[in-house]
Amino acid sequence: MAAEPAKVDPMYQFTIEPLFGSANWEIAGFNIAFTNSAMWMLITTVVLGIFVWGGMKRELVPGRWQMAVETFTGFVENMLEANIGKAGRKYVPYVFSLFMFILFANILGLLPLGIVGLHPFTFTSHFTITGVLAAISFSIVLIVGFWKHGFHFFSLFVPHGTPLPMIPAIFLIELVSFAVRPFSLALRLFVAMMAGHVLLEVLSSFVIDGTNAGAHFGLLVGLPSFLLMIGICALEILVAGIQAYVFALLTSLYINDAENLH
């Protein structure tokens, strides 16, 4: 048994598979197969919808559920108001959607549904997804920036009080740092989610292979790995929340740049 190669492939969990024989669905020559990734987006959307719908009872004295939903909307509202000011309120729908969509996706992807035969797919661990979300956020920043300030928006790249000879160099540096933003936004979430899931998968392979290798290995490798997994799982729940928060927070900070310049 011990001689057999490991059967656990830590990267397999990120594989995208078409479901329901939809592999050949196409629009204008592009494949739009309904994959497990899309399936989990649907689940996330439905769960999030149910969650928010439960908070719409509009009672004067809120119940627990309504209180929970109002806590989230209030949290996003406060964040936008703290970062952007009064003008930030109009971005609440977008940032709330972004934050909750990522948060629910991250947490649903962590659920131990594997034990009932359903394999969660964390679509936020794909940079195609995080990239599109970052691109949407960045587009909003650009559109708002140029809409509100026109070409004056470029003054964002020249910090106030820059000496005249430094302006070309500073402009270039600031432009690059600005242009890098969507990539850092997308990669941060993708890397954090993927790393956590890979780590859990690797540790679980230690548990499985160690136990299969005999009682000694099971005690020596499997048990510590299992204990470590429990800790990492807690950490991953934290990361799921933090990454969603960071994504929403950075988006609101970037929108603040566009809304208020410096």
Q: Which is nearer to another protein, 16 or 238 (CB)?
A: 16
Q: Which is nearer to another protein, 37 or 256 (CB)?
A: 37
As measured in angstroms, the least distance from the Cβ of 76 to another protein is: 8
| Residues engaged in binding another protein (CB under 8 A) | 11-12, 14-16, 18, 25, 27, 30-35, 37-38, 41-42, 44-45, 48-49, 52-53, 55-56, 58-60, 62, 66, 69-70, 73-74, 77, 92-94, 96-97, 100-101, 123, 125-129, 132-133, 136, 190, 194
Is 248 in contact with 76 (CB distance < 8 Å)?
yes
Q: How far apart, in Å, are the Cα atoms of 158 and each of 84, 172, 257, 262?
A: 20, 9, 13, 9
Task: Give the CA count within 13 Å in the CB-facing half-sphere of 101.
Answer: 17
As measured in angstroms, the least distance from the Cβ of 119 to another protein is: 14
As measured in angstroms, the least distance from the Cβ of 166 to another protein is: 40
Q: Which is nearer to another protein, 44 or 252 (CB)?
A: 44
Torsion of CA 172, 175, 180, 185, to 10 degrees: 150
The closest alpha carbon to 50, from 68, 62, 37, belongs to 68
Is 240 in contact with 107 (CB distance < 8 Å)?
yes
Q: Which is nearer to another protein, 74 or 214 (CB)?
A: 74
As measured in angstroms, the least distance from the Cβ of 179 to another protein is: 21
Taking CA 154 as the corner, what is the angle to CA 152 and CA 157, rounded to the nearest 5 degrees? 135
Is 250 in contact with 84 (CB distance < 8 Å)?
no
Q: Which is nearer to another protein, 30 or 151 (CB)?
A: 30
As measured in angstroms, the least distance from the Cβ of 257 to another protein is: 22
As measured in angstroms, the least distance from the Cβ of 160 to another protein is: 34
As a whole number of angstroms, the distance between CA 236 and CA 213 comes to: 28
Q: Which is nearer to another protein, 84 or 156 (CB)?
A: 84
